Amino acid sequence: MILPFTLQQLRILKAVASEKSFTKAAEILYVSQPSLSKQIKILENRLGIILLNRENNTISLTEGGKVFLQYAERILALCEESCRALNDVKNGDRGNLVVGASQTLGTYLMPRVLALFAQNYPQININVQVDSTRVIAKKVVNREIDIAVVGGDVPDELKNNLEIENFVEDELILIVPKSHPFALKKQKTINKDDLYHLNFITLNSNSTIRKFIDNILIQNDIETKQFNVIMQLNSIEAIKTAVSLGLGAAFVSLSAIEKEIQLETIEIITIENIKITRTLSIITNKECYRSKALEFFYNELWMLKTISN
């Protein structure tokens, strides 16, 4: 059977869909725009379906284009995987690796892991992608990411395609400004009722971390809807800065406040009889070829866990 497309046409479609522009896609792929447009037209003619909407200088995928792109991305990922497998055979311990991380981990935990890995394996090229747990897990399923560390719940519909291993526990703690009355006490422990007297700075209500914290508190008979939330921000960095400036209190990952602890700009407060922890997970594709680069990184993760414990 002769396939109605070439790998280059799949690369072109993926680039156009990503950039939403023929001009930018052509620049990325180092081809002329007329040549790129011609290949898209040939592809649509051979498939017998329109893949792209071209209206008012805007490029978007048709329904058929969306379906076809999913398979195109998987085909391209498999091609890249086959090249990595052959490179392993040829080059021994050299290779490329795509690592994923959910947002908080990608900002605070992963840089430390990558720095140590780069020291031990300078010959391995690493590409890091940071996004929500859902997006990262889907990319692992689609073979766009080789291995990832995530903090959120992996969607049920993706679990059958993934190897999910518990990695480490991440503690989420309450922080207040150094000037706060709770911080000035010798005993840095409060009870549940004290939470209702704090001004909270939080992530938005759709945040996975916020939902997780709220659920744990609710399980401990704390009415989070009664909290005085004075500000919702879109990043942990913004929240830490706001707390350091004395604007309010917040729940953050312990791994995210190492710098603030060293600089003594915030104070950690313990809540009596309550500890909020979440399990971080390592995820890989069950059916994906495990390159030597992946095995090295996987083993390094577990070694770091052993050292940190």
To 5 degrees, how large is the angle CA 293–CA 142–CA 278? 75
Residues 6+ apart with CB under 8 A from 11: 29, 76
Query: Has residue 175 been placed in a domain?
Result: yes
Read off the pLDDT of residues 186-197 as tens digits, 9 standing for 90 and up.
778 999 999 999
Q: Which of 72, 104, 127 is the last residue of a domain?
A: 72
pLDDT at 139: 94
149, exposed or middle or buried, with CB in 10 Å at 0-12, 13-18, 19+? buried
What single-letter DSSP state applies at residue 274?
B
Q: Which of 72, 105, 128 is the last residue of a domain?
A: 72
State whether 138 and 193 are in the same domain.
no
Whether residues 179 and 115 share a domain: the answer is no
Q: Write out the two tokens for 64.
A: 């058929």
Query: Are 187 and 163 within one domain?
Result: no
Same domain, 162 and 290: yes
Q: Is residue 78 part of a domain?
A: no
Q: Give the CATH number for residue 284.
A: 3.40.190.10
pLDDT at 89: 65
- Whether residue 56 sits in one domain with residue 116: no
* Domain assignment present for 208: yes
Q: Which domain holds residue 27?
A: 7-72
Q: Is residue 80 part of a domain?
A: no
Instruction: Say yes or no to pLDDT of 308 above 60.
Output: no
The last residue of one of the domains, among 23, 43, 72, is: 72
Q: How far is CA 104 from CA 59, 65, 115, 203, 239, in A?
A: 33, 33, 17, 12, 13
pLDDT in tens, 218-270: 999 999 999 999 999 988 999 999 999 999 999 999 888 988 988 889 999 99
Domain shared by 159 and 185, yes or no: no
Q: Is 212 part of a structural domain of the chain? A: yes
Cβ atoms of 133 and 100 within 8 Å: the answer is no
Report the chain's mean pLDDT, rounded to a whole number: 89
Strands (E), 28-159: 52-55, 58-61, 95-102, 124-131, 147-150
Do residues 125 and 164 both lie within one domain? yes
What does the pLDDT look like over 74-124, one tens digit per residue?
999 889 888 877 877 676 567 789 999 988 888 888 888 888 898 988 888
Does residue 83 form part of some domain? no
- Do residues 97 and 144 both lie within one domain? yes
Is 298 in the same domain as 163? yes
**Domain of 18: which CATH number?**
1.10.10.10
Query: Which of 84-88, 171-175, 189-193, 287-291 has the lowest average pLDDT?
Result: 84-88
Q: What is the pLDDT of residue 106?
A: 83
Q: What are the Cα distances from residue 192, in Å, to 143, 184, 221, 251, 292?
A: 45, 18, 9, 14, 49
Q: What's the number of domains the chain is made of?
A: 3
Assign 265 to helix, strand or coil: coil
In a domain, 110, yes or no: yes
Whether residue 84 is contained in a domain is answered as no
- Judge if 154 and 195 occupy the same domain: no
